[in-house]
Amino acid sequence: MREDDRKLDYCLKCTDCDSACPVMRVLPNFSGPKALGPDLERIRKEGIACDTAWLEYCMLCNRCEMICPNQVNPAEMIAHAKMKQPKRGRAGFRDRLLAGPDLLGRLCSVAPLFSNFLLRSKPTRWLMSKALRIGTERKFPKYGWQRVSIKKNGTSPHKIVFFPGCYIRYNDPHLMQAVIDILQLHGSVEIASTTCCGVPALANGVRSELLHALDTNVERLLPAVQDGARIVVACTSCSHMLKAEYPRLLSDDPQRGTMAQIIAQNTYDLGEFLLEIGEAPAAKLKPMKVRLAYHAPCHLKGQGIGRPWVQLLRSIPQVEVRDMGAECCGMAGTFGFKEEKYRLSMDIGEDLFSAIRAYNPDCAVSECGTCRMQIEHGTSVEALHPVEILHRALSR
C-alpha cells in the first residue's frame, strides 16, 4: 500500500489535531486539520473537487502532525491540496508572487536603498494593498547592502556549508556575518549557492516554484555533503524544510528521494550544531546582564531537538533567558502579510505578545526571521537571532 494511503487509514477521528491547531483557536468557522486533512482526503480520492477557501488559512505550523497519536499527516495532506487549489484573483496572483522570494530578493538587492524606500513608502503600500491585497499594517522588511566577509581556512577539521535562507541572505547581512563569524570558530565555512528553500512555495501551494526549489537545492547541496560537509541553517523554517519536508516531498522520486534523505541526515540547525558538534569556543564568553524573552518557532519544535539556544544562551554568564512558552506567533512566513489574514495573525500571536509584555525583557530572541518580525510588530520589543547575543558575548 502507498505510504500516504496507509497513513490515511491510521486516523481515528479523535480530533486531537483540532485541539492543537492555533487557527481553530481564534477563527470559529475554520474547518481545522481533521476536516481539511483526513476527512476530505477520502473524498478527494473520489475525484470530487474539494477545494475550499479554508485551505489557505492553514499556516502549515505542523502542530497537528506532532500531536497526532496515530501518526497521521494532516498538514501534508493540506499542503498537497493547496497545490491543487486554483489561484484566483488578486490574492491568487499575490500568493504566486510571495511563493518565490528569491526573485524579489535578488531584484531588490541590486539597489537596496532605493528598493527599501520604494517598498516601505506609503503610496507603494497603498498600491500593494489594492493590487495585491498585502496588508498596509506591516512594512516590508528592509533589504540589506553590506557585503559579508569570510576568512579562508578555518581552525578545525569541520567542513560547514551555511544555508542562509532568503531572509538572512537578502534582508539581514549583519546576521549573516554574525553566523559566519561564529561558525568559522568551528571549521571552514562556505555559503551555499542555493535558492529559496521552498517553504513559501509550499505554504502558498505553488507547485512549480516548489519543484524548482527542491530540484535546484538538492543538486547543489549533495556534492558538499558527499564531500563530508555538514549543512548548517540559522533559520528554523529552512532547517525544518530540509530535514523533514524534502525527503517527504521527494519520496516518490527514487533518485532525488535518496539525495534528499542524505541531505536531511546531514542538516543541522545552528543551535543544534553548536551544542552537539561544536567544541566550546576558545575565547571566553563575556558576561552580559540581559533579560531575554525566548520564543521557540513552530518549525523548531517540529525538529525534536529541544531548545538548543536556551541552553547556549544560559552558558553566557549573567544572561537570563525565559522561554515564553507560547504556541505560535501567528506570522507563519508570508501568511501574516496577507490583508485578509492580518487580524487572524495578530490574534494568534496575542498570547506571545502578552507574555513578552508581562516579562518586560531587554530584547526578544528567536531563530525564525518572520517570528522576529511578528514579535517586533506586536510588541515593539527588539527581536534578535540568538546567535547575535552569542556573537556579542564573544566579541566584546
Partner 1 sequence: MIVVATREFDVLVIGEGLAGAMAAAAAAGEGCRVGLVAKGPGMFALADGCIDFEKLDPHLEPEEGFEREIEFFLTTTAAAGCEYRGRLGERIAVPTLLGTFRHATFAPLCFGEFDPRRLTNVTVVGFPTFFDFDARFIAERLMSKARVEGRQTNYSARQLHISWQGELPHLEIEFAAQFDRNPQFREAVVKALASVAASADLLIIPGVLGVNTTTEELRDIWGYVGCRICEVASLPPSVLGMRLLRRLEDLLTRTGVELLTGFALSELCMEGEHCRGVLLDTPGRPRRLEAEAVVVATGAFSHLLDARGLMETNVFVCGGALQLSEPRTENAIAIVTAFRAGTRAAKLGVQHARR
Partner 2 sequence: MEKTQVVIVGGGATGAGILWDLTLREVQAVLLDKADLANGATGRCHGLLHSGARYAVKDPDAASECIRENTILRKVARPCVHETGGLFVHLPQDDASFVAKWVEGCAKAGIPTEHLSRDEALAFEPNLPHDLVEAYTCPDANIDPFQIVAANVEAAVARGAAFKTYAEVTAIRLQNGKVTGVDYRNCLTGEQHSIGCELVINASGGWAQQTAGMAGVDVPVRCDRGALLILNQRLVNRVVNRCRKPGDADIVVPSGPVCILGTSSVTVPSPENLVVPPEEVQALLKLGAELIPALAEARVLRVFTGARPLYAPKSTGGAGGREISRGFALLDHEQTDHVAGFISIVGGKLTTYRLMAQVTADLVCKKLGVKAECSTDRVPLRTYPDDTAFREALGVLSPAVAQKAHRRMGNKLTELIAAIKREPALAEVVCECELVTRGEIEYVLKSSLVPAQTLTDVGRRTRMGFGTCQGTFCGYRTMLAGYRDGKWSAEQAVAYLRTYMQERWKGQQWAPAGKQAEQLNLSHELFSVEYNLQDEGTGDCCGD
Cell representation of residue 262:
542524505
Nearer to partner 2, 9 or 219 (CB): 9
Q: Pick the binder of partner 2 from 16, 51, 137, 323 (CB under 8 A).
A: 51
Which lies closer to partner 2 via its Cβ, residue 50 or residue 263?
50
Quick check: 344 binds partner 2 (CB under 8 A)?
A: no
Q: Which is nearer to partner 2, 14 or 310 (CB)?
A: 14
- We find the least distance from the C-beta atom of residue 310 to partner 1, in angstroms, to be 13
Closest contact distance (angstroms) between CB of 154 and partner 1 is: 17
**Binds partner 2 by CB under 8 A, chosen from 16, 50, 255, 362:** 50
Nearest residue (CB) to partner 2, 54 versus 93:
54
Q: From the CB of 336, what's the least distance to partner 1, in Å?
A: 19
CB of 35 to partner 2, least distance (A): 6
Place of cell 527581536: 383
Nearer to partner 1, 128 or 293 (CB): 293
CB 210 within 8 A of CB 96: no
Residue from 28, 46, 122, 282 that binds partner 2 (CB under 8 A)? 46
Which of partner 1, partner 2, none lies near 187, with the C-beta cut-off 5 to 8 A by kind? Answer: none
When asked if residue 39 is in the footprint of partner 2 (CB under 8 A), the reply is yes
Residues contacting residue 187 through CB under 8 Å, at least 6 positions apart: 154, 155, 156, 157, 158, 159, 160
CB of 88: closest distance to partner 2 in angstroms? 14
Q: Rule CB under 8 A: say whether 84 interacts with partner 2.
A: no
Of 43-51, 208-216, 299-307, 364-372, the window that binds partner 2 (rule: CB under 8 A) is 43-51
Partner whose footprint covers residue 123, from partner 2, partner 1, none (CB < 5 to 8 Å by kind)? none
Closest CA relative to residue 251, chosen from 45, 54, 7: 7
Closest to partner 1 by CB, 115 vs 266, is 266
67 contributes a contact to partner 2 by CB under 8 A: no
Q: How far is the CB of 306 from partner 2 (least distance, A)?
A: 30
Site for partner 2 in 9-38 (CB under 8 A): 9-14, 34-35, 38
**Closest among 245, 269, 206 to 73, alpha carbons compared:** 245
- Closer Cβ to partner 2, 29 or 360, answer by number: 29
Maximum Cα interatomic distance, the chain, rounded to a whole number of Å: 64
| Angle between helix 173-183 and 386-395 (nearest 10) | 60
CB of 40 to partner 1, least distance (A): 18
For the CB of residue 94, give the shortest distance to partner 2 in the complex, in Å. Answer: 22
Where does this chain bind partner 1 (CB under 8 A)?
14-16, 18-19, 24-25, 28-29, 66-71, 228, 240, 242-244, 264-267, 272, 276-277, 301-306, 350-351, 354
Q: What minimum distance in Å lies between the beta carbon of 63 and partner 1?
A: 9
* Residue 88 within binding range of partner 2, rule CB under 8 A: no
Residues found near partner 2 in the complex (CB under 8 A): 1-2, 5-6, 8-14, 34-35, 38-40, 42-43, 45-52, 54
